[in-house]
Amino acid sequence: MDTSDRPGRLAVGVLGAGRVGSVLGAALVLAGHRVVAASGVSDASHRRATERLAVELTRPDDVITRSDLVLLTVPDDVLPGLVAGLAATGADLRGKLLVHASGAYGLDVLGPATDLGALPLALHPVMTFTGRDDDLVRLNGCSFGVTAPAMLRPVAEALVIEMGGEPVWIADQDRALYHAAIAGAANHMVTLIAESQELLGRIGVEHPGRLLGPLLGAALDNVLRLGIAGLTGPVVRGDAGTVRKHVDALILAAPEAADAYVALARLTADRALAAGLLKPEAAERLLDALGGNIWT
């Protein structure tokens, strides 16, 4: 369907044509907007700009000049310096939508540009981006953590919906906690599963992913539907002896993993106790097995 004749189509610039920027830019193109310029420093950025956005890389000031909406899709630690640099160069930001995709930052990071007349938005897609072609498909139906000034909320909502997403409104002061929650779940899950695969591989399991897949799929389904009530396993059963065996085995095989196991088992026990799933006497036995105080 041709969307280019819709009202309010924008000239889009991408500062940081990486995994996220190239996908968001491509999604806006599908909605009928035009990517007119992009910047980046790596060979991968050059390739994505050419293949996904159909533009050549140019200077950041040129991107600003040519765009109505500018995506600031750079790493979190780079974002404050980028915004400050744009403001310091005297770039004409008046009336331009300045959109960053960082989960941890809200609108304050765009302050130097907002003071010069830019229109600030924080649109964070709650999705993992691997650089593969299916990243754009995954964007369809995913949530975006959205923070916007009151007068720009309709614009933010429209942009997210046009990209195939669902806006979830996050207060400016809650952005860091919001991002800690989702990054902790997604990133640490990857680390935990990769560690489990490695440990299984050490003992000769040829296809750890095949072994883990059904179990992890069921566990994810349980927690998303039931919350902590979907918890299973030795901690919620109060099997302190099994938990101690786990810790001892990990200390020998992977000491760094043992520390993580103990910390997560303590958190699990604490959650289960608070939810009434674990009896106090069972919690005490787990306390001894884990070598510390669950309530501290």
Summarised one tens digit per residue, pLDDT across range 125-134 is 999 898 888 8
Cα-based distances in Å from 122 to 15, 50, 64, 105: 15, 26, 18, 8
9 against 294, higher pLDDT: 9
On average, the pLDDT of the chain sits at: 93
- Any idea where the domains of the chain sit in the sequence? 11-170, 178-290
Mean pLDDT value across residues 231-250 = 95
Structure tokens at 190: 């990857």
| Single-letter amino acid code for the residue at 75 | P
57 against 2, higher pLDDT: 57
For residues 275 and 228, the answer to whether their CB atoms sit within 8 Å is yes
Percent residues over pLDDT 90 in the chain: 85
pLDDT the model gives residue 196: 97
pLDDT the model gives residue 252: 94
Phi-psi region of 132 (alpha: psi -120 to 50; beta: other; left: phi over 0): beta
Cα-based distances in Å from 79 to 19, 76, 189: 16, 5, 26
Above 90 in pLDDT, residue 113?
yes
How confident is the model over 36-51, as pLDDT tens digits? 999 988 888 888 888 8
The sign of the CA dihedral 158, 160, 165, 171 is negative
The sign of the CA dihedral 22, 24, 29, 34 is negative
Mean pLDDT value across residues 28-38 = 96
Rounded to 5°, angle at Cα 64 from 155 and 59: 145
* Domain 11-170 annotated CATH 3.40.50.720: yes
* Cβ-Cβ contacts under 8 Å for 256 (sequence gap 6 or more): none
Count of residues in the chain: 296
Confidence of residue 224 (pLDDT cuts 50, 70, 90): very high
Q: How far is CA 217 from the centre of its chain?
A: 20
Angle between helix 255-274 and helix 240-253 axes, rounded to 10 deg: 160
Mean pLDDT value across residues 9-36 = 95
b/e for 71-98, b at 16 or more Cβ within 10 A?
bbbbeeeebbebbeebbeeebebeebbb
For residues 155 and 148, the answer to whether their CB atoms sit within 8 Å is yes
* CA–CA gap between residue 161 and residue 140 (Å, rounded): 9
Note the pTM of the prediction, 2 decimals. 0.88
How confident is the model over 125-163, as pLDDT tens digits? 999 898 888 899 999 999 999 999 999 999 999 999 999
Mean pLDDT value across residues 208-217 = 97
pLDDT the model gives residue 1: 47
Strand order from edge to edge, sheet including 143-147: 34-39, 11-15, 69-72, 97-100, 119-125, 143-147, 166-169
* CA–CA gap between residue 173 and residue 167 (Å, rounded): 17
Above 90 in pLDDT, residue 31?
yes
Confidence of residue 296 (pLDDT cuts 50, 70, 90): very low
Confidence of residue 84 (pLDDT cuts 50, 70, 90): very high
4-18, 92-106, 185-199, 251-265: lowest mean pLDDT where? 4-18
Mean pLDDT value across residues 225-236 = 96
108 against 4, higher pLDDT: 108
For residues 75 and 24, the answer to whether their CB atoms sit within 8 Å is no
Above 60 in pLDDT, residue 295?
no
How confident is the model over 149-201, as pLDDT tens digits? 999 999 999 999 999 999 999 999 999 999 999 999 999 999 999 999 999 99
pLDDT the model gives residue 163: 96
pLDDT the model gives residue 293: 45
Cα-based distances in Å from 204 to 51, 190, 197, 208: 42, 21, 11, 9
